[in-house]
């Protein structure tokens, strides 16, 4: 049965191929036949048309050439004048002498005031003239005190006038013996001489002088 089916398929394919070939042949015959008929018809129409050829027109004579006009030379144009470039003059730089600076005004400084005069010599206390040790010595020893061999130190203060002389004697420290103290003031008032004290104006003035006399028996 399979063989029979295969045979039937082959016959069907052959039949289809034959149909296609027949259609192609018919189409080709139809196309070629119509083309031939159309060409033959056009050729018959062309044989029936008469073409009248027109004679070409005679060529026209060319117009005479225009008369030659004299060629005028171009006008002579003088070249423009050469203008030299204007060079601006260089600026002249003048050196202006500068005046020297004015000296500073000299300001006269006032002279310093003269120094004040030296202050007058001042002497607060009188100064002894000579050696104060000579104002009272062993020769002035009171005889009684010498016999009794009494010794001591008498302290005193003298008032000195403006003339340098002693005007007063005061015992500031006793020797312990009245006769020794009295002998000291007596001899000092008689022998002592001074340079007097000076005040603020340098004038002699009254002053005081203090010292001591030691009474000692000579050996």
In a domain, 174, yes or no: yes
pLDDT score, position 19? 77
Q: Please report which confidence band the pLDDT of residue 42 belongs to, taking 50, 70 and 90 as the band edges.
A: very low
Average pLDDT over residues 36-53: 52
Higher pLDDT, 147 or 123: 147
Does some domain include residue 173? Answer: yes
Q: Which comes out higher in pLDDT, residue 219 or 74? A: 219
Q: To the nearest whole number, what is the mean pLDDT of the chain?
A: 78
CA–CA distance, 42 with 34 (Å, rounded to integer):
13
Residue-level pLDDT at 2: 47
| C-alpha distance across the termini of the chain, in Å | 206
The answer as to whether 101 is a domain residue is no
Whether residue 151 is contained in a domain is answered as yes
Residue with the bigger pLDDT between 216 and 8: it is 216
77 domain-assigned: no
- Expressed as residue numbers, the domain containing 133 is 127-215
The answer to whether residue 188 is domain-embedded is yes
Neighbours of 158 (CB within 10 A): 23
CATH code (residue 152): 3.30.2420.10
Please tell me the distance from the alpha carbon of residue 192 to that of residue 132, in angstroms, as a whole number: 7
Confidence check: pLDDT of 104 > 70? no
Is position 33 within any domain? no
Question: Confidence class of residue 106 from pLDDT cuts 50, 70 and 90?
Answer: low
Q: What is the pTM of this model?
A: 0.46
Of all residues in the chain, what percent carry a pLDDT higher than 70?
A: 62
47 assigned to some structural domain? no
For residue 39, what pLDDT band results from cuts at 50, 70 and 90?
very low
Mean pLDDT of 140-162: 94
- Which of residues 205 and 43 earns the better pLDDT score? 205
The count of domains in the chain is 1
Name the pLDDT band for 198 (thresholds 50, 70, 90).
very high
Q: What is the mean pLDDT of residues 155-163?
A: 95
Q: Answer with the residue of higher pLDDT: 204 or 123.
A: 204
- pLDDT score, position 175: 93
User: Looking at residues 98-118, what average pLDDT do you find?
Assistant: 72
Residue 58 CA to residue 159 CA, distance in Å, equals 189
Q: Got the DSSP string for the chain?
A: -HHHHHHHHHHHHHHHHHHHHHHHHHHHHHHHHHHHHHHHHHHHHHHT---PPPPPPPPPPPPPPPPPPP-PPPPPPPPPP-PPPPPPPPPP-PPPPPPPPPPPP--PPPPPPPPPPPPPP-BSS-EESS-GGGGS-GGGS-HHHHHTT--EEEEEEEEE-TTSBEEEEEEEE--S-HHHHHHHHHHHHHH-BEEPEE-TTS-EE-EEEEEEEEE----
């Amino acid at each position: 049965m399979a063989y029979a089916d295969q045979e039937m398929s082959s016959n069907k394919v052959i039949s289809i191929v034959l149909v296609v070939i027949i259609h192609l042949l018919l189409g080709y015959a139809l196309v070629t036949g119509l083309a031939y008929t159309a060409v033959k018809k056009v050729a018959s129409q062309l044989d029936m048309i008469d073409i009248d050829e027109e004679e070409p027109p005679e060529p026209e004579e060319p117009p005479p050439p225009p008369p030659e006009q004299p060629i005028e030379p171009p006008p002579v144009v003088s070249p423009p004048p050469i203008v030299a470039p204007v060079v601006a003059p260089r600026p002249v730089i003048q050196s202006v002498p500068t005046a020297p600076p004015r000296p500073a005004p000299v300001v006269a400084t006032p002279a310093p005031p003269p120094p004040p005069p030296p202050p007058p010599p001042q002497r607060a206390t009188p100064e002894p003239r000579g050696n104060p040790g000579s104002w009272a010595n062993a020769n002035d020893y009171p005889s009684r005190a010498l016999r009794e061999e009494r010794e001591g130190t008498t302290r005193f203060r003298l008032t000195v006038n403006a003339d340098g002389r002693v005007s007063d004697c005061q015992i500031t420290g006793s020797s312990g013996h009245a006769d020794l103290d009295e002998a000291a003031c007596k001899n000092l008032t008689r022998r002592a001489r001074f340079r007097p004290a000076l005040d603020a104006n340098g004038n002699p003035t009254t002053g005081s002088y203090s010292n001591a006399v030691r009474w000692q028996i000579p050996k």
